[in-house]
Chain A
Amino acid sequence: MKVAIAGAGAVGTFIARDLAAAGHEVHLLEKEAKVVDRLRSTTVNVHWHAIDACEYESLDLAGISDVDVMVAATGDDEDNLVISLLAKQEFAVPRVIARVNNPKNHWLFDETWGVDVAVSTPHLLTALVEEAVSVGSLVRLLSLDGGARLVELTLAADSPAVGRSLAQLAVPRDASIVAVVRARHVIVPHGDTTLAAGDEVIALVTGEVEEQLAALLAV
């Protein structure tokens, strides 16, 4: 996949490294030449462009016309909206993801500005709860340093976990169920919390237990 990321702040650089490590073709766009010079050597297999991603010509030069995904990840909401609009409207980028810095601006981040997915870290969980998450499959929400991952699974009606308490489930050692969301309310889980169909189970996992957990919860 070819991905362009605008903004080489902590967020943009982190995503760029992650995606490059996963084998994607990553282009990182940053308007401050000094930042580009400082960080270029800290990344591997990332194509750096010292350009202003809010300018049509710059985006064209960076090859936006054939990227699969554009991530507007600058620390400025206005810039992120304009970058998203240009990517979608002028370059017809199939998937545009934009970072929301100030939650007050969240309402602006929609198709009107070319945004397919808006991500504001404090809103990540609630957004996923409000959006119908695909039932029965494990979705990775967040990768943390040290290999820990936050994952989410919506229980199908015929899941073997439905009707059982967490204590009965025998969750593997390297996994911890941190929340159960039922009808948009967050339940802090205890051993005697009984799972129901439609529950969204959020768990923190490390190492290789992701599949074991999926086997416990999914059909």
Chain B
Amino acid sequence: MAQDALAAPLAARPVGWLDRFARFFDRYLLLVYTGFAVLYLMLPVFVIALFSVNDPIGRSNVAWRAFTLKYWLDPFGVPGLFDAVATSLKIAFASTFVATALGTLIALALVRYQFRGAGATNLLIFIPMATPEIVMGASLLTMFVAIGRPPFFPLNELTILIAHIMFNISYVVVTVRARLVGFDRHLEEAAMDLGANEWTTFWRVTFPLILPGIIAAALLAFSLSIDDFVITNFTAGRTVTFPMYIWGAARIGIPVQVNVIGTIIFLVAVGFVALSVVLGRRRA
């Protein structure tokens, strides 16, 4: 903006050193700063990856010692880690499936229809996203304890799943709604004019068009679920998910294999995003 600001009145004014500084600031310093900011953001990711090829003595993997690939060749070589990752994946798939279905229906209702209570619905969708996770986890815990009997107590995989579906619904609604807002209703009207009934119109016209939004929401829900620690901490009982495993190991030292799994999850997620970008380009 400093550059744009200078452009017009420049002709009338002599260029002083302050102007030069402002232009330098705008042209170079902002970009240099952004480079450093991105490095700062990625630094921990780099550290995680670096320490996945470290060969520490003992369990404490916090100082660089020597390069090795042995943990990459045996990523589940510590007891319990495979089960923890499997549990996380299971809960992530299940909660993504349910939350995406429920959230998409809400998003459709909010964008496509005008009805009494839309404002209250919007607020009910927003508030879980603006509640600290610890409060949601704690309140679910008190409810499960108050019920005090199976299938809710003792806490188990089902209670984690219930919690993950709960916090994911809002994110799905918000993501799908964002894609639905620009939706051209004339396409549906055209289908109806050509004799399709509402059911056919939905599955043949509406659904394929909003599918990218639904997929984006599902990916977000999956990544939130698989990485959730706080709410899981309160609703897991003795069940160990991948984040719970890290939490338990943090005191005595996180095994190198955990860094390997963390790096793999990062690479897979980045791969998915790259894939969606490529597919999006091809579509366009």
Q: Do A and B bind each other?
A: no
